[in-house]
Structure 1
Amino acid sequence: MATTPQDSSGLWKTRYTMALLCLLGLTSSLTTRVNLSVAIVDMVNGTAVRERDSNGSALFFFDPDACPGELAVRGQGGRKDGDFTWDKQKQGELLAAFYYGYVIGHVPGGMLADYFGGKIVFAVSVFVSSLLSVLSPASAWAGDYVLFANRVAQGLVQGGIIPTIQTLICRWAPDHERSKFSIIFLGQYVGTVLSMAATGALCATSLRWPLTFYVFGGVGLLWCLPWWLLASDSPAQHKNIDPDERRYIEATIQSSAKQKLPVPWRSLLSTPAIWALVAYFVTYDCTFYLFLSSLPLYIADILHFDVESNGILSSVPHITGAAGNLLFGWLIDLILRKDYVSKMCGFRIINGIGLLVPAVALVVVALVGCDSAAIVAMLALSGFCMASHCTGIYMNMQAIAPNYAGTIVGFVNTFANISGIIVPYIVGAVTNANPTRATWNMVFYMAAAVLVAGYVLYAVFTTSEEQPWNVPPTENGFSVKNDKGIVNTIFHGDDSQRNS
């Protein structure tokens, strides 16, 4: 049996550069996704909308359980210098537009990444979405329907990013380092927090809201240059990788991730573990988008914080999520490396933390009334624990079928990201006509119930075993050599070394 080659001696590895570039690219994509949620406040002429909708009369809401200090009132007041008179329905449509495209883009994005490789797909996704971000102000001035189309297109091209990252991890991360590569998904939290915090500051400048689209779009375009120069689809294709590191990576990836394999859709769709992943991600994303799109409304309408405080508090779950991302990557690596529990049990524990703890926290939020400190603490705890998905659930996917990692993530996220469209409509249907603490409590109870149901389905039907359809039948137990993918030295011995 061949011995495992030694890794390169340098402290900084080429695979670390790949992970860093992926993290920065994901961060950039999140900033252009999230910034409209904050910028739209500065874009809309709030007073003009109120005057048009209510003919100048104030709208009063009596809430017997209202938090001390005010009556829930909507009426005169607000900015007069916004550029657009979009009502609440139109604003909701524009905010949801991204996710119409995002849902559609996942499966083709994942398939393209598996077929052509992650480098080109990631580059095109970030480049096009960044360019569209720069064009967003012009789109808005051209008409709300043009901005809607712009946002749909941004979502469509960004749909391939997460599946592409999965494909790259399967080709670059040694099996025992997969949990460490979950740091890439820190970009989701960094991008969200950065976008929420910076967009408010950029809107306060003399250039106002257009500046946020120019800045975040410009940063994304700049990212494309180092990515194109320094990234590659696999160690075998990288021009400057240390040969020792290449051999080490190839030898320590037990299941080779190859390109240009036909997707076994019938087998994939009939695998219960795939639908367990769908159940997990749908329920996770329901809560994630609740925090992303609706939490600012709750903080403003129920807890009555001002705009500056609202921005900070809305970022809390994402800030603690960044910390959780780092902790859970280390924790599951420790659990599995030390063999404290089986791989399957480890997945159930880590992913249970990601769904069940937030469910309890949301119930507590509904029960503590107006205790702002307790509510913020529970939101922080929820965000922290939900970050476990960046390690546990993605490792679960990689274990099931590493050859189709991008396709599976695309398929699963197609269902999951429908939540980005549905959640704002559900929250609106429950709270818009009567935005009281009681109706918001109903939202939290519903979210908690969905989280528990999702985890039960996941825990019952998931598996940690590689599926038979992951290896094409033509291979007959033999790993086909492909210089565009991974060449596993366990099967090929010194052959890969001669081609290094």
Structure 2
Amino acid sequence: MKKCPYRILIAVMIFMSAAMNYAYRVYFQISFIAMLDRNETLKEGEKQPDYGPRFKYSHWEEGMIIGAYFYGQTLSSIPGGPIAEQVGPWITMLISALINASLTLIAIFVTSENWVPLFICRFFIGISSGVQYPSMQFLIGTWSPPLEKGKFTACLMGNVFGSVAATAITGALVRWLGWKSSFYGMILVTLIFCTFWFLLISDYPTNSWWCSKEESAYIMASHEGRITHGKVIPPFLKMATSIPYIALIIGQFGSLWGLNLIVTSMPKFMAEVLQFELQKVGFLSALPSLARLIMGFVFGTTTDLLLRKNIIKNKAIVRKGFVLFSHFLPGATLFCYTVVGTSPALAVSFLVIMLGFNGAAVVTMLVNAQDLAPNFAGTLYGIMNCFGSTPGFIIPAINSKILEKGSSWPQWTTIFCIGGCVYISTGIIFIIAGSTKLQPWNEKKMKAEDATPAVT
């Protein structure tokens, strides 16, 4: 068929959706450093830069505020999948983004020495954001032909672009205009995103105003009956007892442990241990995420080519073989922190290598829900993202305990070694118990008159 570029635009919007989701996580970590009163840790004669009002929170309160987003996201990730499948990803994502912008505006005015209002705002932003990734998985399932799954799923690496942009831009904004400017910046970017989402996105190719009938027919026919239009209650019991799916959840937990370690902890590590200035923290902590973004597309394109050319005929070899890159090598890299000493150059280099390898998660963890049950990919991803989000608040809690008596190199090597153990152990479980076979519970059981096969 004549190639039509509209699904490329859908992929770009999925990329930007993931970027927005992670920007809401990351910009706050940078801004939060500038919001804290650190007078007690300054050397004699030093003064804190004037980035706006500063607040004195205990280490426990800091951990709670940082983890608030992840508490909320964990709660909403499981219902997020059914919501996206029942209501549709177009309206789900739109409402979620507008709620996030509203709560960010409220946070500017309620933040004070009392940590609770800021915690509540971040908590509900997390709840709102929990429905976003299931919506993206829904769109990947309905818009991507099977042999383009790798490239489409690589668009979820937009989260890395969001991390890179948010850390770099927030660091500069805070330094020039104060921490409130980063909040206003997020609100503005969200409103621009919502405008494009409203105009360009539809739940199915057949519903799109812009997609040609030729391309729509090609996409729908390529699904070969694996996807059925219609609203049913997901088979939660069968999902909960599916060994391949449980292995996927565990593997996703391990992959996101490493990513959340970077998101929640790296600004603090770079500022307090490596002694980088805030502006450099924003730039340097973005480098590992940038490596993940680039390598995610490299791995996604490579595996699509391997499968399309029949160089590798078995998808299971791809999914499990590339765990070497998504889990084992990142885990080994984290263990290297026990021997690199306090060299800032080596420390940053190992972070870049670690997340660069983890870009392979697009062809191991992120796409596997589409293999198992594309009809319920949103629900599957919501559940696995629920468990995968827990490191977002587990890590700050562990870190606050480890760093209770000081934030120095020995304490941080302990934190990195824990991450290495999680990476490797979860990767082993996925290799042993994971699968790429279409699960029998993928079938939507509904009345015949209500079902619309994904072939036109």
Equivalent residue, structure 2, for 1:397? 369
My pick for the range that moved more, 342-351 or 390-399, is 390-399
Number of corresponding residues: 452
Superposed displacement of residue 242, structure 1 = 0.8
Tell me how far apart the structure 2 counterparts of residues 479 and 454 of structure 1 sit (CA, whole Å): 43
1:311-358 Cα distance to aligned partner (Å, 9 max, x none): 322222101111111101111112222333311011001233100010
Q: 1:118 aligns with which of 76, 89, 97?
A: 89
Distance 1:76 1:284, change over 3 A: farther
Superposed displacement of residue 287, structure 1 = 1.3
Residue identity matched to 1:79: Q
Larger-Rg structure: 1
Residue identity matched to 2:22: L
Distance 1:203 1:375, change over 3 A: closer
Superposed displacement of residue 270, structure 1 = 0.6
Pairing 1:152-191 to 2, within 5 Å after superposition: 152-191=123-162
| Aligned partners of 2:57 and 2:113 also within 8 Å | no
| Aligned partners of 1:182 and 1:325 also within 8 Å | no
1:392-414 Cα distance to aligned partner (Å, 9 max, x none): 32221101001110000011111
DSSP 3-state at the match of 2:127: helix
Equivalent residue, structure 1, for 2:285? 314
TM-score, length of structure 1 as denominator length:
0.85
| Aligned partners of 2:66 and 2:396 also within 8 Å | no
Pairing 1:171-320 to 2, within 5 Å after superposition: 171-206=142-177, 208-254=178-224, 255-320=226-291
Equivalent residue, structure 2, for 1:345? 317
My pick for the range that moved more, 360-369 or 450-459, is 360-369
Superposed displacement of residue 438, structure 1 = 2.3
Q: 2:407 aligns with which of 403, 412, 435?
A: 435
Mapped pair 1:79 → 2:48? yes
Identical aligned pairs, as a percentage? 24
Q: 2:306 aligns with which of 335, 357, 360?
A: 335
Tell me how far apart the structure 2 counterparts of residues 127 and 458 of structure 1 sit (CA, whole Å): 37
| Aligned partners of 2:252 and 2:388 also within 8 Å | yes
Tell me how far apart the structure 1 counterparts of residues 180 and 193 of structure 2 sit (CA, whole Å): 20
Pairing 1:4-23 to 2, within 5 Å after superposition: 6=1, 8-10=2-4, 13-23=5-15
Distance 1:466 1:154, change over 3 A: same
Residue identity matched to 2:415: V
Superposed displacement of residue 474, structure 1 = 5.8
| Aligned partners of 2:25 and 2:69 also within 8 Å | yes
Residue identity matched to 2:26: V
Superposed displacement of residue 416, structure 1 = 1.1
Q: 2:71 aligns with which of 73, 96, 100?
A: 100
Q: 2:357 aligns with which of 380, 385, 392?
A: 385
Structure 2 residue runs of 5 or longer lacking an equivalent are: none
Superposed displacement of residue 245, structure 1 = 0.5
| Aligned partners of 2:151 and 2:300 also within 8 Å | yes
| Aligned partners of 1:29 and 1:129 also within 8 Å | no
Equivalent residue, structure 2, for 1:39? 31
DSSP 3-state at the match of 2:101: helix
Structure 1 residue runs of 5 or longer lacking an equivalent are: 1-5, 51-57, 59-72, 489-495
Distance 1:470 1:9, change over 3 A: closer
| Aligned partners of 2:35 and 2:55 also within 8 Å | yes
| Aligned partners of 1:359 and 1:449 also within 8 Å | yes
Equivalent residue, structure 1, for 2:98? 127
Residue identity matched to 1:418: T
| Aligned partners of 1:197 and 1:311 also within 8 Å | yes
DSSP 3-state at the match of 1:205: helix
Tell me how far apart the structure 2 counterparts of residues 75 and 425 of structure 1 sit (CA, whole Å): 31
Tell me how far apart the structure 2 counterparts of residues 380 and 9 of structure 1 sit (CA, whole Å): 36
| Aligned partners of 1:23 and 1:186 also within 8 Å | yes
Distance 1:139 1:396, change over 3 A: same
Tell me how far apart the structure 1 counterparts of residues 228 and 339 of structure 2 sit (CA, whole Å): 48
| Aligned partners of 1:179 and 1:395 also within 8 Å | yes
Distance 1:402 1:46, change over 3 A: same
Distance 1:442 1:155, change over 3 A: same
DSSP 3-state at the match of 1:232: coil
Equivalent residue, structure 2, for 1:369? 341
Superposed displacement of residue 468, structure 1 = 0.6
